[in-house]
Structure 1
Amino acid sequence: MTRDFAAGNYRFIPAVFQYSSGACAHDGFEIERVRFDKLLPLAEGFAQAASHIQRAGQKLTSFCACELRSPAAFSEAGFLAFNQHYVKTLSEWGIFDGTTNPVARSNVCPEIDPPAVPSFYAFCFVRPIEGNRRAAQPDFVIAGGAEARGGPGSYPERIVRYRDLSPEGMKDKVAFTVGEMENRLAGFGFGWKDTTATQVYTVHDFHPTMAEELVYRGAARSGLTWHFARPPVVDLEFEMDCRRVSREIVV
């Protein structure tokens, strides 16, 4: 079930306090994705995002998704502390109300040349469609998800094939994560056929399962971008996100 975030002109799939499972632009609006040419530390990234959004004539509440990079995978306690810090800016912007967060997010850890501090890689915001152009269908961003089941319990209790890096273990991790993306897409009434980009984050060889679990299921419709990075929590091994975005620029 989705919820409306009228102040941002988008709806979202509720998840946890640090992020939503996805954001989808309202009719008459589109999503612009802005990727930074160089990683920016968190505070600087937020400041640059705010400046760009305001120059585009939009409110800060139009901020709907972000892609972050961290130095290394967090412990559960470390991840909680980071998230509590991260949402402070969203609260100041009138987006996070202390309980519900409409902003979709991915946060992964580059294996090679990681940033010294948590940093911005990209962000998305909602803006009106210009002129008489009409969107063929709504823009959306699906948040990053890894091979951890929802619900109560620690990560070791919820991770699919916990610490199993065998070919069979990786196959199950990939299959679960692809299924999670499909569930989130379905929450908006979409499927892989509606995406314009899919990203994968892992340091492991997933090629043996790529055709069966990704290509045949439609996840590679627009190709597949592989980032040699780890998910944000220790012992998670495979993460994905996907999107349909009308505007993409690099600054």
Structure 2
Amino acid sequence: MELTRRRLTQILAGTALAACAQQQDSAQEEPVVIDNPKGNFQFVKGSGPYSSGAVASPGFEVVHAIFQPLPELFSAFEIIEKHLEAAGRPLNALCGMELRIPKALSVEDFNTFNQPYIDRLEAWKLHVDGLNPVARTNVAPTVRPVSQPSVYGFSYTVPSDYTGKTFVVAGAGEFRTSGLDEDNLVARGDTSTAGLTQKAEMVLSIMTSRIEAMGASWADATQSNIYCIHDIHPLMAGAIVPALAEASIHGVRWFYAQPPVLEVEYEMDVRGVRKEIIVTP
């Protein structure tokens, strides 16, 4: 049998993730996908203040918007509301948020921070059967940190005749389970190359699981983002790039930022979009 380039890529990706696959199978919950007809997307059920990902329904696609400069969190909500209205889209079309905070938080402080955010989405009546459908990434830039919680970008659906998959996967760190129990961190406290490799492999397996749950694949991904303040160069050739499969052609974007919860060292999110715009507040 001829070994095609695509098949070779798949084999390499599988090898890179093999070390953590058994851990994830036993600990990570099976993804549950829920329809959000008012927003024209489906979302992967998450925990707490966000969903695990969102994929556009047929007849729609996801658009990614980046703020320049970054507005304060609750000012951003007002800007997003006006932007969606101008685009002829309902608030329910909001399917992704990217936040920036001044520093990483304890689990307790993280939960406290989340409540006003959740309250705003509930006030917008975005929840579906009591679940938040909006995917989210929330990190703390280490160099030139923000002075207050701010919004880097957001994603929403628009009508489209595009037949491919467009989606956003929420940020995830190296937890073996979907909760925020520090005891379930992979290689907790180990930021050596070996420890970071284990963390990256776990996070990449989570990304893959969420992408596949939405009926998409790495071939549909256009942006793979890494949030880490440690040296990830030694991980690239062996753990990270092969696992991205076809998406590796787009490279990775490395944000020098900490995940939002203390002791989490490596986070990723993934996006598959055709359209990205800059929004100036």
1:41 is matched with 72
2:169 is matched with 142
Structure 1 CA distance for aligned equivalents of residues 231 and 102 of structure 2: 22
- Code of the aligned partner of 2:257: A
1:212 aligns with 2:259: no
1:240 aligns with 2:271: no
Structure 2 CA distance for aligned equivalents of residues 223 and 136 of structure 1: 24
Structure 2 CA distance for aligned equivalents of residues 209 and 112 of structure 1: 22
Name the structure with the higher strand share: 1
Structure 2 CA distance for aligned equivalents of residues 81 and 119 of structure 1: 16
Pairs aligned (count):
246
Displaced runs of 4 or more, over 2 A: 96-99
Q: Deviations over 1:138-188 (max 9, x none)?
A: 211011011012156x53211110011111101101111111101111111
Structure 2 CA distance for aligned equivalents of residues 119 and 71 of structure 1: 9
Query: For structure 1, which runs of at least 5 residues remain unmatched after alignment?
Result: none
Out of 64, 71, 83, the position equivalent to 2:102 is 71
Out of 155, 163, 173, the position equivalent to 2:181 is 155
Q: Deviations over 1:89-130 (max 9, x none)?
A: 11111112683111000000000111111110000111111x
Offset, 1:12: 0.4
Cα 1:62/1:239, change in 2 over 3 Å: same
Structure 1 CA distance for aligned equivalents of residues 127 and 218 of structure 2: 29
Structure 1 CA distance for aligned equivalents of residues 167 and 126 of structure 2: 18
SS in structure 2 of the partner of residue 108 of structure 1: strand
Aligned alpha-carbon RMSD (Å) = 1.3
Out of 131, 142, 153, the position equivalent to 1:100 is 131
Query: For structure 2, which runs of at least 5 residues remain unmatched after alignment?
Result: 1-31
Offset, 1:213: 1.4
Out of 112, 117, 122, the position equivalent to 1:91 is 122
Question: Is the contact made by 2:165 and 2:220 (CA closer than 8 Å) also made in structure 1?
Answer: no
Structure 2 CA distance for aligned equivalents of residues 13 and 160 of structure 1: 23
- Code of the aligned partner of 1:248: E
Residue pairs, 1:40-59, within 5 angstroms: 40-59=71-90
- Code of the aligned partner of 2:183: E
1:184 is matched with 210
Out of 214, 222, 241, the position equivalent to 1:196 is 222
Residue pairs, 1:222-233, within 5 angstroms: 222-233=250-261
Question: Is the contact made by 2:96 and 2:136 (CA closer than 8 Å) also made in structure 1?
Answer: yes
1:127 is matched with 158
1:166 aligns with 2:192: yes
- Code of the aligned partner of 1:242: V
SS in structure 1 of the partner of residue 157 of structure 2: strand
Q: Based on CA coordinates, which of the two structures has the bigger radius of gyration?
A: 2
SS in structure 1 of the partner of residue 70 of structure 2: strand
- Code of the aligned partner of 2:197: K
Structure 2 CA distance for aligned equivalents of residues 231 and 151 of structure 1: 15
SS in structure 2 of the partner of residue 237 of structure 1: coil
Cα 1:151/1:20, change in 2 over 3 Å: closer
Offset, 1:215: 1.3
Structure 2 CA distance for aligned equivalents of residues 176 and 13 of structure 1: 18
1:31 aligns with 2:62: yes
